[in-house]
Structure 1
Amino acid sequence: MVADSAKGPRPSLTETLFMLFLRLVAVAALWFAVQYWAMLTGLSVEGKGRFDLLPPAWKAAATALAVLFPVAAVGLWLLVSWGRVIWLIAAATEIAMHELYPSIFGINRLLVLMHLAVAALFVLFRLALFVQRRRQARAVRTDSP
């Protein structure tokens, strides 16, 4: 019996690890989304984070992040490029909240460091994939007549 689709090349170890990394970030983004929604609906922070009780700056930031994080999670899980962009916007927003406006949003160094570590890992994966693809392309060129 003939397979329905043509088999492509198997992904390398680096590509497989990158896919797993993106899916782990998707799970983390979904966790952040659940936390924001729980806060906004009064299910966490002992009800003190309910939307109607928040100051205007927190209303804007929490509402935006409650929408951005689940969208980023879906995009990252599906391994599409827009998921990475949405995650970057959400992470940059949280970093800006806690680093540029600590008097309003408080200081959360662990969150900022986590976002920066994920971004650094992403850059390292992309560099590794770039080098790997360059080596593959060079090997193909030298073997061809």
Structure 2
Amino acid sequence: MRGKTGRPERAPFINDRLRDVVCRLASVALFAGGLFYWTRLIGVYDGLLWRFDTMPIWWRIATPVLAVLYPIAGVGLWLIASWGIVIWTLVFAIEAIMHLGFARLFGTAPAQVGLHAFGLVALLMLRVAALPEQRRK
């Protein structure tokens, strides 16, 4: 097939499609996580950590930061922009520090931290697998 420039178009590689799928799935998950943090901020549910005015100071710092970063990372990943992966890495680092480094304050969330790590490692592996194709160009 010839493109508009007269040169042959390259077929999309499976690696590109897999990256797009991983980014879009992570984007939906990050939007859901953002909604979770926003419901905590606006106090939809009653409970000790479910309303901003009843949270301890460490949750009052973490919750607004994550409520903003989660949707931003989701938009970046949905657009498959490189800055989306950077923001997602920042979210992962913050939550890993919270739940692994300060588990006495924030509690443990191994599934949440593990899913972030799994997604980022999957993107890293796809990036490494794409290096030979990029070198051929």
TM-score of Structure 1 vs Structure 2, range by shorter chain:
0.7 to 0.9
Instruction: Give the C-alpha shift of residue 31 in structure 1.
Output: 0.7
Q: When the two structures are superposed, what TM-score results if normalisation uses the length of structure 1? A: 0.83
Q: Which residue of 2 aligns with 1:81?
A: 82
Q: Which runs of 4+ in 1 moved over 2 A?
A: 5-10, 131-134
Mapped partners of 1:131, 1:31: distance in 2: 35
1:18-97, aligned counterparts within 5 Å? 18-44=19-45, 46-48=46-48, 49-97=50-98
Bigger mean CA offset, 109-118 vs 55-64: 109-118
Instruction: Give the C-alpha shift of residue 13 in structure 1.
Output: 1.1
Mapped partners of 1:24, 1:39: distance in 2: 23
Which structure 1 residue ranges, 5 or more long, are not aligned?
138-145
Mapped partners of 2:100, 2:4: distance in 1: 50
Q: When the two structures are superposed, what TM-score results if normalisation uses the length of structure 2? A: 0.88
Mapped partners of 2:114, 2:23: distance in 1: 18
Mapped partners of 1:132, 1:96: distance in 2: 36
Instruction: Give the C-alpha shift of residue 97 in structure 1.
Output: 0.3
**Deviation string, structure 1 residues 48-70 (Cα, Å, up to 9, x no partner):** 31111111110111100000000
**Deviation string, structure 1 residues 11-44 (Cα, Å, up to 9, x no partner):** 2111011111111111111011000001111224
The one-letter code sitting in structure 2 at the alignment partner of 1:32 is G
Q: Which residue of 2 aligns with 1:9?
A: 10
Q: Which residue of 2 aligns with 1:142?
A: none
Mapped partners of 1:52, 1:133: distance in 2: 51
Instruction: Give the C-alpha shift of residue 113 in structure 1.
Output: 1.4
User: How many aligned positions are there?
Assistant: 131
SS of the counterpart of 2:62? helix
Whether the 8 Å contact between 1:30 and 1:69 is mirrored in structure 2 is yes
Mapped partners of 1:93, 1:6: distance in 2: 45
Mapped partners of 1:131, 1:51: distance in 2: 49
- Structure showing greater Rg: 1
Mapped partners of 1:109, 1:24: distance in 2: 20
Which structure 2 residue ranges, 5 or more long, are not aligned?
none
Whether the 8 Å contact between 1:39 and 1:47 is mirrored in structure 2 is no
Instruction: Give the C-alpha shift of residue 47 in structure 1.
Output: 4.2
Whether the 8 Å contact between 1:22 and 1:77 is mirrored in structure 2 is yes
